[in-house]
Chain A
Amino acid sequence: MTGMRYLLCFAAVAVALLIAPVVFPSSVAITTMSLMGVMIIFALSYNMLLGQTGLLSFGHAVYYGLAGFCAAHAMNIIAAGKLPVPLPVIPLVGAAAGLFFGVIFGAVSTRRAGTVFAMISLGLGELVAAFALVLHTFFGGEDGISTNRTKLLAFFGYKFGPQIQVYYLIAFWCFVCIVLMYALTRTPFGRMCNAVRDNPERVEFIGYSTQRVRFQAFVLSAMFAGVAGALAAINFELMNLQSIGAAASGQVLLMSFVGGAGHFAGPVIGAIFVTFLQVSLSDITKAWMLYFGLMFIFIVMYAPGGMAGWLALHWPLLRNGRIVRLLPAYALAAVPMLGLALGGVMLIELAHHMLVQAASDGPQLSIFGIPMNGASPWPWLAALVLFAGGAFGVRAAWPRVADAWGRALAAPGTTKVNS
């Protein structure tokens, strides 16, 4: 029965991947969705470490980046030698490269878990980034390594010139990787990873080597990151130093955590959400990096389960229909929250405009289409009132939300505690 459910789930994912370009046919949408596909694999591979094995890595982009460079070089070599290798198998080159570097660096870094692992991963990331600056032949210096995906052997007549063909290539690999990574969580090995995360001492007592489990998880994770890196090389036809550095590692951490590291689907949600924000927010506001950072801190402080964790919290209530009882309290809390968010956005936008752009563009700006003058105190005052009023309102409304939660959970039929 549950087996059927998973099959249906994967079938739904496959259908969604297939029809997405039909629903969103614009070229911007297809470019964005291609990027999302790459990021989904990357974030899922990261979550094999963070979510499933409890290893916090600050250098996961090393495997993504190195595999991407290897794939770019492989594509150039294949194109130059006219070797009979079509483009769709290039991600396997990335997987091999990821596996290779995962074995080398994993042997060093998985000796210890916890904070020390986090620092070693950071150090290794910096080490590789610093080396990448020195080794010009392999990493191409500032320009990076460019390649041309259409120069490879045609695959059943497809040359992968148009973005839509690349999208389907990425979607195919994305689907394969999702299924494989999910299947891995259901194996005894996947369960051992969870055990190492939750209680390493006990794992040692029942005769497993936690170090070996960490190493295996690390290597597999690096391999899937390698697939993502190779797909990135195919998608952009360019790999540069940014894809290997600390910023890329931070980004994948952000995606997994915002989506929710505790659930398999979390990184998928996170990758889609963060990529969408990156593409759309960077057009709307110049301070989007700041919003990202603040959103991250907010989630760490108030919703450490991420978006998937929040959804999972509501799932049982949604199934038995009790979610309706929460709606009044949520509606009440939503008003001050909206005020808080609006006030915060206004403050950031005003500050950003006055500090960065006012010197060249003058004090006039518009937020949400409303024109205002950043030099006059009124917009500032309005933003402050919204922000402070919102914060006050949220504090006042919060007990009601907690109360509604308690009642929805304790209602007859779910638990016998309060009846």
Chain B
Amino acid sequence: MLELVTFSTLNGVLYGMLLFMMASGLTLIFSMMGVLNFAHASFYMIGAYFGFEISRHIGFWPGFIIAPLLVGVVGALIERYGLRRVHRYGHVAELLFTFGLAFVIEELVSMIWGKAPVDYRPPPSLDFVAFSLFGTTYPAYRIFMLATAVAMFVFLILVLRRTRVGLIIQAALTHPDMVAMLGHNVPRVFMMVFGVGAGLAGLAGVIAGPALVTQPSMAALLGPILFVVIVVGGLGSLGGAFVASLLIGLIQTFAVAINVSLADVIGPTAAGIFGELGRAPLAQIAPVLPYLLLVLVLILRPTGLFGTRES
């Protein structure tokens, strides 16, 4: 039991930090431009595939650096030549643009790299056992992922809280007109934030690709969860996104690990009340849990856990 709790917590925190790497960019982009970027998980996927392609030619570590930068550039270009053009038609058009983009990216990726998962592996330098506890081993690559995610988190906080750039970004979130009056190029700030957000998602893809499965459906699988994270955390709230990421990471990891059904907990009456749901083990219901949480939060606290704005 202790073994299960320890490893599930570790994996849950890891998954949560990965989610946060994407959710942070998504929520920053949202609070700045009011755009929900449907294609954000696609940047994560592009990151994984770029990382895979680079690791095939020159190795994992160059890919670790280059791929997120490339994804960031792709994101900035999309903002500059796509999103900014659509902006004048309103938020719905922007949302639809990113929706179409996610679709096209998935098609392109499955065209270029095939529909089957690609063989993206952790580098040999990290392919060893970090520690073993209660007879179960924990791979070093996961520790590396966790370290990268935490480093990214600290970096993001420092940039936003302690630098001039962060100051301008924070000001542009709430008072874009005033920031523009002071002589800052707000559209360029938006472009940079979009690029950095995309790059962060790309980095998440590079480090998650070898540990999870790198396949064309990875964006469509993760995208909705990301939305759940930022709505549950409260739209536009970075702290909320952090808490919600960890919450959902832990919930999903524990749900998969714990093999009980409602029938085991409440007794055989559960099957009578909930039908098939009562008999289904928790692991099978696990994919439903984030969305249940979303609906619950929206009923009980429509602004999300830490949100202040309605929309």
* Residues of A in contact with B (beta carbons under 8 Å apart): 50, 54, 56, 58, 108-109, 111-116, 118-120, 122-124, 126-127, 130-131, 133-137, 246, 250, 253, 257, 287, 289-290, 292-294, 296-297, 300-301, 304, 351-352, 355-356
Contact = CB atoms under 8 A, between A and B. Distances in A.
Contact of B95 (A56, A113, A123, A296): A56
B295 A123 contact: yes
19 contacts: A50-B92, A54-B92, A56-B96, A108-B298, A111-B302, A114-B91, A120-B231, A120-B294, A122-B227, A123-B227, A134-B280, A135-B276, A287-B107, A289-B107, A290-B104, A293-B104, A296-B103, A297-B97, A300-B89
Contacts of A351: 111
B97 A114 contact: no
Contacts of B302: 111-112, 116
A43 B30 CA distance: 29
Contact of B107 (A124, A130, A290): A290
B173 to A, nearest CB: 16
A113 B311 CA distance: 8
Interface string B82-115: 1001100101110111011101100110011010
B292 A301 contact: no
Nearest to A302: B85
A304 B284 contact: no
Given A122-B227, A293-B107, A296-B96, 7 more contacts: A108-B299, A119-B36, A124-B291, A134-B276, A250-B99, A287-B111, A301-B82
Contacts of A111: 298, 302
Nearest to B286: A130
Nearest to B101: A297
B74 interface: no
B246 to A, nearest CB: 19
A123 B294 contact: yes
Given A297-B104, A301-B85, A130 B288 contact: yes
A65 to B, nearest CB: 16
B86 A112 contact: no
Contacts of B92: 50, 54, 56
B294 A293 contact: no
B86 A300 contact: yes
Contacts of A108: 295, 298-299
Nearest to A257: B96
Contacts of B299: 108
Contacts of B99: 58, 250, 253, 296
Interface string B29-47: 0100010100000000000
Interface in B268-311: 275-277, 280, 284-285, 287-288, 291-292, 294-295, 298-299, 302, 310-311
Interface of B: 30, 34, 36, 82, 85-86, 89, 91-93, 95-97, 99-101, 103-104, 107-108, 111-112, 114, 220, 224, 227-228, 231, 235, 275-277, 280, 284-285, 287-288, 291-292, 294-295, 298-299, 302, 310-311
Contacts of A297: 82, 97, 100-101, 104
Contacts of A127: 288, 291-292, 294-295
Contacts of A246: 220, 224
Contacts of B114: 356
Contacts of A253: 96, 99
Nearest to B97: A300
A50 B95 CA distance: 13
Given A287-B107, A355-B112, A296 B224 contact: no
- Which one of A111, A131, A292, A297 has the greatest number of beta carbons of chain B within 10 Å? A297
A352 B99 CA distance: 22
Contacts of A137: 275-276
A304 B277 CA distance: 44
A356 B114 CA distance: 7
A116 B291 contact: no
Given A108-B295, A290-B111, A301-B85, A123 B228 contact: yes
A113 B302 CA distance: 12
A253 B95 CA distance: 12
B220 to A, nearest CB: 7
A126 B311 contact: no
- Which one of B93, B103, B235 has the greatest number of beta carbons of chain A within 10 Å? B103
B91 A119 contact: no
Nearest to B235: A116
